[in-house]
Amino acid sequence: MIESISIKKYIAQYFLENSVQPITETVNQIVQTLSANFINDETVFVKSKEMTGRILSSYQGTYIVGLHYENKMETDKILYKDLMRRDQITKNEVMNYLQNITNETPFGRILKPNILSDLSQRNKSNTNNLKKTPQTTEYREQIKKHQSRIRFPKQAINKKSPIPAPQVVEQLKIEKPKRILVDLMNNTDSFFKSLNGKELDICGFKGENVGLLLEIFSFFNFFGDQISVPSFTIEELASSFSEAEYESKIIFLIHSKLLKILVNERKKHGRDCIKTYIEGALDICKIETDAAAPNSGGFKRIQWFSGDMTHSNWKTYIKSFIFDVNEVYGLQKIMSFKEFSLEKRRKSQSMEFSVKDRLLFVKFLIECVIFSNTVRDIVSKVLDKLKSLEKEKYELSVNVRKHRNDFKEIKTEEEKIKMTEKIDEISERLKDLDVEILETRYRADLGSYKGAKFYRIEKKIFYFYESTYYLLDYAGLSMFLRRIKPGNRTETILSSGLRHIQEVLLLAKEN
């Protein structure tokens, strides 16, 4: 059982920053980190002094530990190997603690309310019971005191031993490329330019429109089968948004199926729940609204939540839905979406349209349905499947390690062949699981690094940097992973996710 409040707080904070990844992966990373490190404020046992102390800070495997000597605290620099943790940290204990402080929801596991604040309060109480740590001036004096005890051999100080010229040259050959690489890493612009990412230009879509197109495609790429929208390519989707008539089968299906979800929600849960969905979507999409906007100009509304929507009348259903948003639900009136304007037009009057307008309206509909019970049920099933796949992967990984250890003890050739076949069989299943897990995850966003946001759609990696979207090929991905130096847990999660995708892409190339 984990007793340390500092470790409990660390586990809770780690989970909070990495809640999107499977819990088994979180547990593995926490145990791996804690097995190799002590954390600040943790109570430890100092082997050489046979007494307990508290970790104050650390640097590269050396820890500043606060120790009590006769009613006063002194600090000492102690190596990792000379310290011992009070609590034994195992995967089972971390898993049990995480399950106790979190709840499972349709959108993943979340931290229970007030966990971190309660731990912080308890930690504060414990800290107040300890003697205060030395002030900066006192600490400096202690360092000087320790330094004064150090004795250097005079011969070593006075002796000058110049480095031979050839060694200097060889050292410069090694150091110069390193400095160039470090400068490149520190210069964010140069770093991302070196990846040779290809700027995305999908059927003329660029900038913000590319981002909206990717979001919409990502949603239907995952949820399309469950809501009866046949699959299509991103190029087909882009072409459909660009056509003047705006009457393609793809456009009809994505509008009608999204509206159908809202119709079902209204029938089951009433009008108020639709209003809640709409309010959230307007806020997320930052859609232009105006309470003082003119009325709908005599538009004849139909009941968009009843009857059959067809390829010939779907726009009237959409306009009636917008009418309700403007006039029935008591919300501010939508000023965008000229495509579905409620104003009467003469037949000779050409209709203005904007591709961004069209993209934004579909995103608005997606945001309306994203918290609906229909989508929640789909996500819940996906999470159950992911959990099952992750569990199978974990168990098979344990079996492979066990079999490899057993292999060392096998003496007969026949048994070795059988064990090798068994290991190969499990390894192949693990590769299949990696692909299946990747394809089952419904989130497109992977995380960010130095201001660039990374996304995965199908088996392609995109990143958004300085208002431009880029496609990252396998070579660029490999280069990025060689050079990336995660500075926090979010970037570590991004690195882990990209490495998983890299393995899947490599497997696809080999096959």
Distance CA 248, CA 126 (A): 66
Taking 80 as the threshold, does the pLDDT of residue 204 lie above it?
Answer: yes
Mean pLDDT of the residues in the chain: 77
- Report pLDDT for 265: 92
- Report pLDDT for 269: 87
- What's the whole-number mean pLDDT along residues 160-176? 46
pLDDT per residue over 102-144, tens digit each? Answer: 877 655 677 777 777 777 666 555 555 444 444 445 444 544 5
Distance CA 50, CA 185 (A): 45
Q: What is the pTM of this model?
A: 0.56
Q: Do 334 and 287 touch, CB atoms closer than 8 A?
A: yes
pLDDT per residue over 209-234, tens digit each? Answer: 888 898 899 889 888 888 999 999 98
Share of the chain above pLDDT 70, in %: 74
Q: Which two tokens stand for residue 133?
A: 């740590």
- What's the whole-number mean pLDDT along residues 499-509? 71
Taking 70 as the threshold, does the pLDDT of residue 167 lie above it?
Answer: no
- What's the whole-number mean pLDDT along residues 360-372? 90
Q: How confident is the model at residue 237 (pLDDT cuts 50, 70, 90)?
A: very high
Between helix 355-369 and helix 271-285 the angle, nearest 10°, is 130
Please list, in sequence order, all residues whose beta carbon lies within 8 angstroms of the beta carbon of residue 301, skipping any fewer than 6 positions away.
320, 323, 324
Torsion 439-441-444-449 (CA) sign? negative
- What's the whole-number mean pLDDT along residues 378-398? 85
- Report pLDDT for 359: 92
Q: Do 430 and 393 touch, CB atoms closer than 8 A?
A: yes
